[in-house]
Amino acid sequence: MTDPLRTEAVLTDQALIAATEGGLPLSPTPYADIAARLGVSEAAVTDRLRAMLADGRIRRIGAVPNHYRLGYTANGMTVWDVADDRVMELGAAVGQLPFVSHCYLRPRVPGLWSYTLFAMVHGRSRTETDAHAATIRALLGDALRGGEILYSTRVLKKTGIRTAGRQPVKETS
């Protein structure tokens, strides 16, 4: 039931995000299904997704695994105080490590927080995750001034992004 007045011109990023944030349908033609829902062509959907991948607004399209269900129960947020003039180069190297899923640079907060490099590390036990942290520590070398692992002990809330007033989607990662 495509409305002829709804053309590709009204495929806004917001509409595409809202239509896909719950995940792609498990049907043989997921992009065509989303396009039909939005009243646009399938090419409009895939072209837009491709463009958003190219410009970095979409990091990736893929399966979002639940690390916990795969046995990766020791998920630590490692935080590091790294010399400012080395942190870009070293942060990129940390991000390349296979057990690091996310790596970010964040600001210091004077008097409260001195760690700037954040790397999420996944292991099947705290022993394994601690060993991964030791690998990062060694990589950071003499640029490192301090670090800690913050293990999550409880998930108190976990919902997907809400952009269009829809029900939150459950995310697992």
Partner 1 sequence: MATVDLSPLEKDLLDITQRDFPLSPRPYATLARRLNVTEEAVLGAFRSLQTQGVVGRIGAVWAQGAVGSSCLAALKVPSARLEAVAATVNAHPEVNHNYERDHPWNLWFVVAARDEPAREAVLDAIAAETGLPLLRLPMEQGHHLDLGFAIDWSAPAAPVPVTVPIPVKEKRP
Rounded CA gap, 87 and 81, in Å?
9
Phi/psi of residue 90, each to 5°? -70, -35
Residue numbers 68-97 binding partner 1 by CB under 8 A: 69-74, 77-78, 81, 88, 91-92, 94-96
- Count the residues of the shown chain that bind partner 1, applying the rule CB under 8 A: 97
For residue 115 the two structure tokens come to 């760690």
- Smallest gap from residue 33 Cβ to partner 1 (A): 11
- Smallest gap from residue 8 Cβ to partner 1 (A): 17
Pick from 22, 20, 42: which is nearest to 31 by CA?
A: 42
Residue numbers 97-156 binding partner 1 by CB under 8 A: 98-109, 111-116, 118, 122, 124-126, 128, 130, 133, 137, 145-156
For residue 25 the two structure tokens come to 């349908």
> From the list 17, 36, 139, 143, which residue makes contact with partner 1 (rule: CB under 8 A)?
17
- Smallest gap from residue 145 Cβ to partner 1 (A): 7
Nearer to partner 1, 3 or 60 (CB): 60
Nearer to partner 1, 5 or 109 (CB): 109
166 scored as a contact of partner 1 (CB under 8 A):
no
Residue 86 and residue 157 in contact, taking contact as beta carbons nearer than 8 Å: no
> From the list 65, 83, 84, 166, which residue makes contact with partner 1 (rule: CB under 8 A)?
65
Angle at 130 between CA 125 and CA 133, to 5 degrees: 135
- Smallest gap from residue 87 Cβ to partner 1 (A): 9
What are the C-alpha distances in Å from 126 to residues 41, 57, 74?
A: 49, 33, 5
Q: Give the CA count within 13 Å in the CB-facing half-sphere of 41.
A: 6
